[in-house]
């Protein structure tokens, strides 16, 4: 029987940035269940403490840290504290990021810069700090970031966010090439529409149901869906994967842009007209 050892993470030391809720909580939980000791870092220390306690209650080793990772000094300190608190680092996961509506006609320079700081700039310096730690300790570490399915599409009225997350995809590819000689892997997950505590009201609204019907798997994503993808990318199961950004979107990124409902109806009529009919229809 295959157990948690298949992930090759037992005894590994993981930092989850933004681990205090939603996607970060799920990532922290899955890494802990695979055998990692986890440093849960969040802007709000209370959130980090709650997740760390829940992990400890399940038998894991976990510590809580707090920092504003968009501040260079705090980011550097947080990585050092995680390394000191756990006794090293093998895995660094970054969940931090958010979008803000702002179309081309009203977006201010300050908003543009804030979106890039929150979604891209800090991620580069987090990767730099993590890579320096891995190289110094001579460990083949793994870094996992979060982009968005929209990085491969258009994001009208959120151009700053879309551009930053597309930049993250490019950054992952570039850093993977630079860091490969050290055995360091860097990848990302790209969620589609996902229900989190912050997005639940909008995602579950009646107005959003038409968008849900466009998803091939016909359902919204959950934090657990993203947590599982993070676990995979951090684990030995992905030991020969680097520079990749994997869509975790129910198939949204491969769905056509025409009306699937009408196409399904035509297909159904055609199947019923087949000789002998189609039992599935």
Would you state the pLDDT for residue 42? 98
- Give pLDDT tens digits along the chain (281 positions): 557 789 999 999 999 999 999 999 999 999 999 999 999 999 999 999 999 999 999 999 999 999 999 999 999 999 999 999 999 999 999 999 988 888 888 889 999 999 999 999 999 999 999 999 999 999 999 999 999 988 888 888 889 999 999 999 999 999 999 999 999 999 999 999 888 877 777 767 776 777 788 888 988 899 999 999 999 999 999 999 999 999 999 998 887 765 556 656 766 777 787 776 665 65
Rounded to whole angstroms, what are the CA distances from 223 to 1, 19, 84, 228?
Answer: 27, 11, 29, 9
Would you state the pLDDT for residue 48? 98
Would you state the pLDDT for residue 113? 95
Predicted TM-score of the model (pTM): 0.90
Query: Going by C-beta distance under 8 Å and a sequence separation of 6 or more, which residues neighbour residue 10?
Result: 4, 34, 35, 36
Would you state the pLDDT for residue 26? 97
Would you state the pLDDT for residue 163? 95
Classified by CATH at the fold level, domain 10-250 comes out as Rossmann fold (3.40.50)
Where along the chain do its domains lie? Answer: 10-250
Active-site residue numbers? 161
């Amino acid at each position: 029987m295959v157990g948690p050892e298949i992930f090759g993470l037992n005894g590994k030391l993981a930092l989850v940035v933004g681990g205090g809720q939603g996607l970060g909580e799920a990532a922290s939980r899955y890494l802990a269940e695979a055998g990692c000791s986890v440093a849960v870092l969040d802007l709000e220390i209370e959130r980090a403490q709650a997740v760390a306690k829940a992990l400890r209650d399940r038998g894991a080793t976990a510590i809580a840290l707090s920092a504003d990772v968009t501040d260079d000094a705090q980011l550097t300190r947080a990585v050092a504290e995680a390394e000191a608190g756990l006794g090293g680092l093998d895995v660094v996961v970054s969940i931090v990021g958010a979008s803000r509506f702002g179309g081309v006609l009203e977006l201010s320079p300050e908003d543009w810069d804030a979106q890039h700081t929150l979604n891209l700039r800090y991620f580069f310096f987090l990767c730099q700090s993590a890579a320096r730690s891995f190289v110094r300790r001579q460990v083949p570490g793994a870094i996992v970031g979060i982009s968005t399915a929209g990085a491969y599409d258009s994001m009208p009225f959120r151009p700053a966010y879309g551009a930053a997350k597309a930049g993250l995809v490019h950054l992952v590819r570039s850093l993977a090439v630079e860091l490969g000689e050290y055995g360091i892997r860097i990848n990302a997950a790209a969620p589609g529409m996902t229900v989190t505590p912050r997005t639940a009201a909008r995602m579950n609204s009646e107005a959003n149901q038409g968008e849900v019907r466009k998803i091939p798997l016909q359902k919204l994503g959950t934090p657990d869906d993203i947590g599982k993808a993070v676990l995979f990318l951090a684990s030995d199961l992905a030991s020969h994967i680097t520079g990749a950004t994997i869509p975790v979107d129910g198939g949204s990124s491969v769905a056509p842009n025409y009306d699937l409902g009408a196409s399904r109806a035509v297909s159904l009529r055609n199947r019923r007209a087949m000789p002998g009919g189609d039992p599935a229809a």
